[in-house]
């Protein structure tokens, strides 16, 4: 509302008065922040009518996230793994089923300091068909890290997309599928 008040060159209380007078419903702070961060609407569009292969991809993507996804940040989707195939399937799920805007996908790759960061970036860009400028490669900072424990010279990759609505959709869809499986 402050942005509106500033744009109209009136005070914040004036905007509040007009909203009450004309019965405008005020958005929640989280909804307001979401709209401000996504001015063109949701950066995804979940496909509704799925063919058989797409249903398989939906279930596989959901189960991958349920089993391996990072769940500590409520507004974020994260999946980390050394195995490029796991990330390939999850990226395919995000692209084809969730139809996310490509520019919202980011990849963070952690490699041991003895390995080449640029080769790692090229490897993951090729495997995930992703622009190298959306891939951040960084080295281990943990002094306990040993090269013999690094399983891949290309590092461990974490695919990330920040969007609370997509995260909620995925969480709810997982729960729906689990409910159907466990109650049958």
With bands split at pLDDT 50, 70 and 90, how would you rate the model's confidence at 36?
confident
The span from the CA of 45 to the CA of 143, in Å, is 43
Mean local confidence (pLDDT), 118-126: 97
pTM, two decimal places: 0.81
pLDDT in tens, 147-184: 666 668 899 999 999 999 999 999 999 999 999 999 87
The span from the CA of 40 to the CA of 69, in Å, is 27
Q: Which one is predicted more confidently, 51 or 43?
A: 51
The span from the CA of 71 to the CA of 113, in Å, is 28
Per-residue pLDDT at 126 exceeds 80: yes
Q: What percent of the chain has pLDDT over 90?
A: 61
Per-residue pLDDT at 106 exceeds 80: yes
Predicted local distance difference test score (pLDDT) of residue 177 = 93
Q: What angle do CA 121, 127, 129 make, to 5 degrees?
A: 90
As beta bridge partners, residue 78 has 70, 160
Longest dimension (CA), the chain: 69
In order, the DSSP letters of 64-106 are HHHHHEE-SSTTEEEEEES-HHHHHHHHHIIIIIS---GGG-E
Contact of 32 with 89, CB cutoff 8 Å:
no
Q: What angle do CA 134, 135, 140 make, to 5 degrees?
A: 150
With bands split at pLDDT 50, 70 and 90, how would you rate the model's confidence at 21?
confident
Measured in whole angstroms, the distance separating CA 72 from the mean position of its chain's CA atoms is 13
Q: Of how many residues is the chain composed?
A: 184
As beta bridge partners, residue 109 has 137, 157
pLDDT in tens, 132-150: 999 999 987 666 666 666 6
**135-139 and 69-70: which strand pairing?**
unpaired
């Amino acid at each position: 509302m402050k942005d509106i008040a500033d744009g109209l060159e009136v005070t914040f209380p004036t905007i509040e008065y007009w909203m009450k007078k004309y019965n405008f419903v005020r958005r929640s702070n989280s909804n307001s922040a979401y709209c401000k961060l996504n001015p063109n609407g949701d950066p995804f569009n979940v496909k509704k009518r799925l063919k058989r292969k797409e249903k398989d991809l939906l279930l596989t993507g959901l189960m991958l996230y349920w089993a391996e996804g990072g769940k500590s940040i409520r507004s974020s989707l994260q999946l980390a793994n050394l195995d490029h195939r796991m990330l390939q399937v999850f990226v395919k799920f995000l692209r084809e089923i969730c139809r996310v805007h490509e520019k919202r996908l980011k990849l963070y790759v952690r490699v041991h300091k003895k390995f080449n960061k640029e080769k790692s970036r090229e490897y993951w860009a090729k495997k995930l068909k992703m622009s190298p400028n959306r891939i951040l490669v960084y080295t281990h900072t943990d002094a306990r890290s040993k090269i013999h424990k690094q399983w891949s010279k290309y590092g461990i990759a974490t695919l990330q997309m920040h969007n609370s609505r997509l995260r909620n959709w995925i969480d709810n869809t997982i729960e729906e599928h689990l409910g159907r499986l466990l109650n049958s």
